[in-house]
Structure formats: C-alpha cells, structure tokens
Amino acid sequence: MPGRRELNKEDKRRRIRDAAWSLFREHGFDATTTRAIAERAEIGVGTLFLYAPDKDALLFSLFRDELGDIVTKRFARVPERALLDQLLYVIRGFYERYAEDPALARRFVPLILRLEGDALASYAALNADFFARVGALVEAAKTRGEVRADVDGAVLGVNVLAIYAYFVLGWLLGPAPRVKDGLASLKPALASLLDGVRPVKAGVSAREGRRK
Amino acid sequence: MPGRRELNKEDKRRRIRDAAWSLFREHGFDATTTRAIAERAEIGVGTLFLYAPDKDALLFSLFRDELGDIVTKRFARVPERALLDQLLYVIRGFYERYAEDPALARRFVPLILRLEGDALASYAALNADFFARVGALVEAAKTRGEVRADVDGAVLGVNVLAIYAYFVLGWLLGPAPRVKDGLASLKPALASLLDGVRPVKAGVSAREGRRK
DNA sequence: GCTCAAATATGAGCGCAGTCGGTTTTCCAG
DNA sequence: CTGGAAAACCGACTGCGCTCATATTTGAGC
C-alpha cells in the first residue's frame, strides 16, 4: 500500500523522465544541462542525483525502460506466423524506437559496454527476459515442425540477439538510419541463422528446402 | 627536413604520451586530471588540448597507436604455420596488450562506437590495413592449398575481425581477463570460420576432413 | 643581425556535473 | 495530537574539462 512518500517519489520519477526526454530531444544530450532537467522537473539539482547516479545513467535508464516496454508489448502481440516473421515483428519495435531518436540512440548504445553493478544487473535481467521469450517462441515453432526438436531455445535466443546487435550497431552508426534499410539487411542474416535449425527433410538440405 | 619547430612538437607529443600512460596506469583514467598530465608533460593545460581535442580522444589515440604498432610488428614476424595459427599469433598481440591494462582497455573500447570525423577516419584506416594484411595471409594460404582459390581474402578479413571483436568484448567485460582464457574461447570460433573455406576433398566434408 | 608575421604556447577563467551539510517532509509510536 | 527519528530534498560549493585572449617562439626575407 503506497503512502504519500512513495507516491511523491513515483511522481518525481515521472517528471524527471518527461523533463529529460523532452530536453534531450530539443537540444541533444550534451547540450542539456542537469540543472535544466531539474528545473523542468521542478526539483533541486541535488534531488536529480538521488534518482540517477549520473547523467549517463539517466539516459541509459530512459532507453532501458522503453526497450523493456517494447519487449513486453511486442511479445504480447506476436503474429501467428513463421518464427522468422515473429522475431522480425519484435525487433522492428527496437528499430522503430531507435529511429525516433537516432542521435540519442547513438549516445545510448556505447553505454552498454560500460555497465557495472546494479545497472549491469538490470540490463542483464532485460536480456535474460528477452532470451526466455525468444525461447518460448522457439518451443512453439518446434510444435509446428518449423524447428528441430533438439534445438536449445535459450541458445538460439542468444544468437538472435548477437546478430541483431551486430546489425543494429552498423545501422545506427551509419548516416540517417531508416527502419526499412535496417530490417532489410538484418532479415537475410536471421533467415540464414534459422535455416540452420530447420528440420532436414529426406534428400533435401535445409537451405534447398527453404528455396522451394 | 624537420626544423626546430617540428622537433619541438614531436618531443611534446612524446612527453604527453608518456605522461598520459603513466598517470592513467597509476590512478586510472577518471582519477587522472588533464592538469596532471600537462604538468608531468611539462606543458600548459591549453597546450595539451592543441595535441588532443579532448581527454577521451587522448586515451583513444594512445591505444590506437599501440594497436597499430602491434599489427605492424606481429605481421612482420608471422610464423610459417597454418593460417589459423598465424591469425592467432597476431591476435594474441591484442589480447596481451589489453591484458596489460584491462581497466583502461574497458574504457577504450566503447570509444570506438562514438568515433566521428578524423578519429573515425584514422581508425578505419587501421582496420583497412588489418584487412589487407589478413588478405595477404589468406592468399599465401591459398598457394599452400589450405584455402579454396575462390575465397575473397578481404571478406575473410572482415569476418575474422568481427569474430575477434565479439570475443574480445565479452572477455574484456568479464572479471579479470586472462590472455589464456580469451584465446581458448576465440580459437574454436575462428577454426570453425576457417573450416568453411577449406578445399573440400572428394567424398569428405571440410569438417570431417579436419577431424582426421 | 634585424623585422615581423605566422605558428605555437600559456593559464586564468568559464560552465558544467556531481557532492554534502543543513533543512523540510513524512511517518508512526505513544 | 505530539515528539522525534528517518527519509527525502535542496542549492551553495568543489573540482574538473576545456576555451580563449594574450604572450612567446620561430624562421623567412632583407
């Protein structure tokens, strides 16, 4: 049962998030001062740093929360189609979000490589959730006969994320990333990964089977 | 013919490099102030920023130069053995260097994702040089019959770097990276990549051929 | 050797992120 | 309702990265 204290904190958290997103969008990450964020959120500077250990961590948590929401929402509405299409449906959510704020996204991604302690743990949890959900899709695909029964869903999840990460990185670092282009280059790579786990029909290799 | 002006600049560059490495090693990147670097290099703070656009760029250029040297030196002494061993000989140079300063290396790697302008160009040049040298090794391996004649050496170079990057990243982000562990996990991945380009002997697949 | 413009060097100063000792708000036991 | 402890908040302050107006050094032309 949340008391006044917890409600106030929740409200401040919301105001900080809104203030930070709007200012980062208006002026960019570097040109936005922590004072300006505090002012728009109607709190003192000192208070801001009670809610985020530093400015980088603030940006990181903004994106991490949204990516978490995207995972939840997209997996809840996964289309009843082939595994590849299901994966692309989820991943499209990431691409669309990044494309909304490409400059901020470019600032966000390198932060992942510098995570430590709690922030690392929270990101790892997000990743683990993603793996598990991909694993569930893979299991369902097995019952449909799209994937060999002996494939480990969790391992496949890791591979999917690795390939996604590699492509989204190249896409983000390039000039003016467009969702369409990003998905177009990712799709064949994922398709090739999934080809490797398709059940092999007698006398026909997985790759040839797909071409039919 | 270098005049006094050029000699002075070269000397300052050297002093800055030495001062920065020693201080970064002693106190870490964040705890080292630009004032301290300038003082140990016996120059003014303002002068330091004539030689590096900012503190991050300074760390970046230190590592980039050393990695460039490693590429040159290691490729000059590549052993006359199988392609995989040659690649691992070169890459071991990177692992050993990173292992010397793991904390600084962790700070360095994310900087690569934020490169722009001249710094990006200089890093791209380093990469291109690496690809070309790997390409030369691949060509030599072709004449020895280790690699199929139709394989594009440059493309293989890109793949080698991609796999290396993936593994070195995971290794660096883990606790207390040891050279032995890093190479042990990288080796099978590279071996698998090279298996894919081995000449196929009649009636024996590349992978089975390797197992003999 | 002297002159002077261009190149190079300098450190006081500025704006920022982040801290910390003091203040206010919240909660609950009595 | 009240006392007081704990939690939350605050903004003046600190120390840092980086700038820029000024000073110094260099070397070509004479």
> Which positions on strand D lie below 7 Å from a protein C-beta?
7-13, 15-21, 25-28
Round the average pLDDT of chain B to a whole number and report it: 89
Spacing of B41 CA from D20 C1' in Å:
22
Predicted confidence at residue B79, as pLDDT, reads 97
Q: Evaluate whether A124 touches A197 at the Cβ level (below 8 Å).
A: no
**What sign does the dihedral A198-A204-A205-A207 (CA atoms) show?**
negative
Give the pair of three-digit tokens for residue A199: 């059940």
Q: What value does the mean pLDDT take over residues B175-203?
A: 82
Chain B, window 90-149: residues with a beta carbon less than 8 angstroms from a chain A beta carbon: 106-107, 109-111, 113-114
- B173 min Cα distance to partner chain A (Å): 8
CATH class of A1-51: mainly alpha
- Do residues B160 and B87 lie in contact, with contact meaning Cβ atoms separated by under 8 Å? yes
**B109 contacts A113? CB cut-off 8 A:** yes
> What is the average per-residue pLDDT within B168-188?
92
**CB-contacted nucleotides of strand C (7 Å):** 7-13, 15-21, 25-28
Q: Using pLDDT thresholds of 50, 70 and 90, give the confidence band for residue B207.
A: very low
In this complex, the answer to whether residue B45 has its CB under 7 A from any atom of chain D, a nucleic strand, is yes
Residue B188 has a pLDDT of 84
Any idea which nucleotide's C1' is nearest the CA of B9? Answer: C8
Rounded to an integer, what distance in angstroms lies between the CA atom of residue B166 and that of residue B185? Answer: 11
Contact list, B106 vs chain A (CB under 8 Å): 113-114
Q: Which residue has the higher pLDDT, B150 or A29?
A: A29
Predicted pLDDT at B156: 81
How many angstroms separate the most distant Cα atoms in chain A?
71
- Tell me the pLDDT band of A1, cut-offs 50, 70 and 90: low
Cβ-proximal residues to B5 (8 Å cutoff; 6+ apart), any chain: none
The CA distance from B151 to the nearest CA of chain A, in Å, is 19
Question: Which residues does B71 contact at the CB level (< 8 Å), separation at least 6?
Answer: B90, B93, B126, B129, B130, B133
What's the CA gap between A178 and A171, in Å, rounded?
A: 8
Kindly state which CATH superfamily the domain B54-211 is placed in. Answer: Tetracycline Repressor, domain 2 (1.10.357.10)
Q: Where do the structural domains in chain A lie, given as residue ranges? A: 1-51, 54-211
Residues of A with CB below 8 A from B113's CB? 106, 109-110, 113, 169, 173
Burial class (CB in 10 A: 0-12, 13-18, 19+), A8: exposed
Split at pLDDT 50, 70, 90, the class of B170 is: confident
CA distance A111 to chain B (A): 7
Contact at 8 Å (CB) between A209 and A201? yes
Q: How would residue B201 be classed by pLDDT, with cut points 50, 70 and 90?
A: low
Whether the pLDDT of residue A205 is over 90: the answer is no
Q: What is the pLDDT of residue B47?
A: 98
Q: Which nucleotide lies nearest residue B46, CA to C1'?
A: C10
Q: What pLDDT is stored for residue A4 in this prediction?
A: 83
Lowest-confidence region among A7-11, A31-35, B115-119: B115-119
Mean pLDDT, range B173-197, rounded to an integer? 87
pLDDT at B78: 97
Q: Say if A14 is an interface residue toward chain B (CB within 8 Å).
A: no
3-state helix, strand, coil split of chain B in percent (to 5) is: 75, 0, 25
**Number of CB atoms found within 10 A of residue A88's CB:** 19
Name residue, tokens 């694993």.
A135
* Residue A108: its H or E element: helix A102-112
Encoded tokens for B68:
């460039």
Sequence-distant (6+) residues with CB within 8 A of A87 are A134, A137, A160, A190
Out of A109, A113, A166, the one facing B173 most closely (by C-beta) is A113
- Cα B33 → chain centroid: 26
Number of H helices, E strands in chain A: 10, 0
pLDDT at B75: 97
- Residue B34's φ and ψ, nearest 5 degrees, are -65, -30
- Judged against a pLDDT cut of 60, whether residue A50 lies above it is answered with yes
Average pLDDT of the segment spanning A16-27: 98
Burial-class residue A83 by CB neighbours within 10 Å (0-12, 13-18, 19+). buried
Chain B within 8 Å of A162 (Cβ-Cβ)? yes
Number of helices (H) and strands (E) in chain B: give both, helices first. 10, 0
Closest CA to B208 of B189, B197, B195, B193: B195
State which H helix or E strand residue B105 sits in. helix B102-112
